[in-house]
Amino acid sequence: MRVVKRPIRDLHSDRQMPPRFCDVVIEDDKIYLEYKKDKNKYVKIPWEDVVYQVEAAKEDSK
């Protein structure tokens, strides 16, 4: 199993090193967003769930 983890940063930040919003985690063919909830506690959300909810919000805004 190959796992790739990369930070998602706020690219509109004025900071020299933009703050990390969350991480994208790719495990084989599955994609997740992962955020740190507590010191050693992480929560992963499937990318499909994120896309579904964003598309639903876009439809509601029309």
Per-residue model confidence as pLDDT tens for the chain (62 residues): 899 999 999 999 999 999 999 999 999 999 999 999 999 999 999 999 999 999 999 999 99
Report which secondary-structure segment, H or E, holds 4: strand 3-9
Sign of CA dihedral 36, 42, 44, 45: negative
23 within 8 A of 5, measured Cβ to Cβ = yes
DSSP tag of 15: S
What is the C-alpha end-to-end distance of the chain, expressed in Å?
Answer: 41
pTM above 0.85, yes or no: no
pLDDT of residue 1: 84
Give the closest residue to 27 by CA, choosing from 7, 58, 2, 46.
2
